[in-house]
Amino acid sequence: MTTETAARTLPRVTPRSFQHAGLLVVLVLIVAYAGVATDSFLSSNNLINVLRQVSVVAVIAAGLTLLMTAGGMDFSMGGNVAVTTAVAAQLLAHGRPAWLTLLVSIALAIVIGLVNGAVVTFTGVAPFVATLATATLLDGVALLVIDGMSVSIGEHLSTLGNGRTLGLPNLVFVAVLVLGLTALVMRYTTFGRDAFAIGGNEDVARLSGINVVRDKLLLYGLAGALAGLAGIMLLSRLAASSPGTGGLQLQLTAVAAVVIGGTSLAGGRGTVGGTVLGVLLLGVVANVLNLLQISSYYQQISVGAVLLIAAIANLVRRRRH
């Protein structure tokens, strides 16, 4: 890129970073409070642990950001994670090599995503309804695969789950890579801009020569692939697949992170930057409440409250324009 074009791009970038100023301030305040209120929050061990924990949600949220920007929704990514971890755990437990396990489980996750995409695109069922149905279905399938028991994978995938490079967990590198690529795709590829166009006005997108059907299938397929990757990451971290791994709770956390980050449920607006802040905010809040030894009941209540406040704040900000 020449200096001249870089200079032209610059004025557009500045207001975008301001867009999340409020969220950033909230995050900094919570971090500051946690630093004062607890001894251990700011220890490098704890911070690294937070990052390691949020990396799975971050990968799901990245896919969801792109999909929701295009006006889509996939409520079954958590279910997809559950199925992927279950299948991968069984394959590894039965002595299959890691590469085959990865290949099979991610291929399966992509197929699940494509099925969602096909249902949404060709039948016109609302994405929320269609994927809520598959979510329930997948949660059941996951239980079937592990037969309702915990399946351990021993030392398999431990390089991914517990390994570190340059002092940071490998899981974090995977998440950063996925988020970075998603951000680049959304901003610098026609496919990414198509997502904004489809989410902004699907009719106009179609009339402008955008292949909406292909794009939607790709978007749901990609969401599936990232759910599969998140499943592998989760399995590597937990070293076992148990009933309740993944599923709706994970899904709701990811949706909450994306919405807190300012991505519109109606489509047409979304940024990876916001999603990163949303993921970190939820991760930090959960960690702080843990350190303060607050009951998990209150943790759920506080996550719900954060989501509600953020959603309202996003609307208020938009109205002011």
Partner 1 sequence: MERTAGMRAEEAVLRVRDVTKSFGGAAALKGVSADFLPGEVHALMGMNGAGKSTLVQILSGVLSPDSGHLEIGGHTPRNPRQARRLGVSVVPQRRELVMTLTVAENIMLGDLPTSGPVVRWRSIRQTARDALHALGLEIDVDAVAGDLTVAEQTMVEVAREVRRGGRVLILDEPTACLGPEAATQIRELVTRLRDSGVAVVFISHHISEVLGLADRITVLRDGRVTWSGLAKETDERGLVRDMVGRDVVSRRPARTAEPSEVGLSIRRLCQGRFIEDFDIEVRRGEIVAVLGPAGDAQSRLFDLLSGRRRPESGTVSIAGRAIRSGSIDRSLAGGLRCVTGDRRRLGLIPGLTVDENLLLAQDRLDRRKLHRWGRLAERAAPLRDDYRVVSLVRNPPVEQLSGGNQQKVLLAKWLGTGPAAVLLEDPTNGVDVAAMAEIHTLVDALAAEGVAVLLASSSAEEVMRLADRVVVVRDGRRVAEHRVDDITRDELIATTLGGALR
Give residues in contact with partner 1 (CB under 8 A): 1-2, 4-6, 8-9, 11-12, 187-193, 196-197, 200-201, 203-211, 268-269
Q: Which is nearer to partner 1, 15 or 167 (CB)?
A: 15
At closest approach, how far in Å is the CB of 228 from partner 1?
25
Q: Which is nearer to partner 1, 7 or 103 (CB)?
A: 7
Tokens describing residue 75: 């409520």
DSSP letters, 297-317, are: HHHHHHHHHHHHHHHHHHHHH
Contacts with 116 (C-beta within 8 Å, 6 or more apart), sequence order: 74, 76, 127, 130, 131, 134, 220, 223, 224
Q: What angle do CA 266, 13, 284 make, to 5 degrees?
A: 65
Distance CA 158, CA 238 (A): 9
Contacts with 201 (C-beta within 8 Å, 6 or more apart), sequence order: 268
At closest approach, how far in Å is the CB of 229 from partner 1?
24
Q: Which is nearer to partner 1, 60 or 186 (CB)?
A: 186
At closest approach, how far in Å is the CB of 318 from partner 1?
10
At closest approach, how far in Å is the CB of 100 from partner 1?
32
At closest approach, how far in Å is the CB of 269 from partner 1?
6
At closest approach, how far in Å is the CB of 210 from partner 1?
6
Cα separations in angstroms, 12 against 184, 268, 269: 15, 17, 15
Q: Per residue in 125-164, is it b (16+ CB within 10 Å) or e — as a string?
A: eebeebbbebbeebbebbbebbeeeebebeebbeebbeee
Q: Which is nearer to partner 1, 164 or 187 (CB)?
A: 187
Closest alpha carbon to 282 in 57, 65, 38, 25: 57
Tell me if residue 319 falls in helix, strand or coil: helix
Q: Which is nearer to partner 1, 123 or 203 (CB)?
A: 203
HSE-up of residue 53 (Cα within 13 Å, Cβ side): 17
At closest approach, how far in Å is the CB of 268 from partner 1?
5
Q: Which is nearer to partner 1, 197 or 234 (CB)?
A: 197
Q: Which is nearer to partner 1, 13 or 166 (CB)?
A: 13
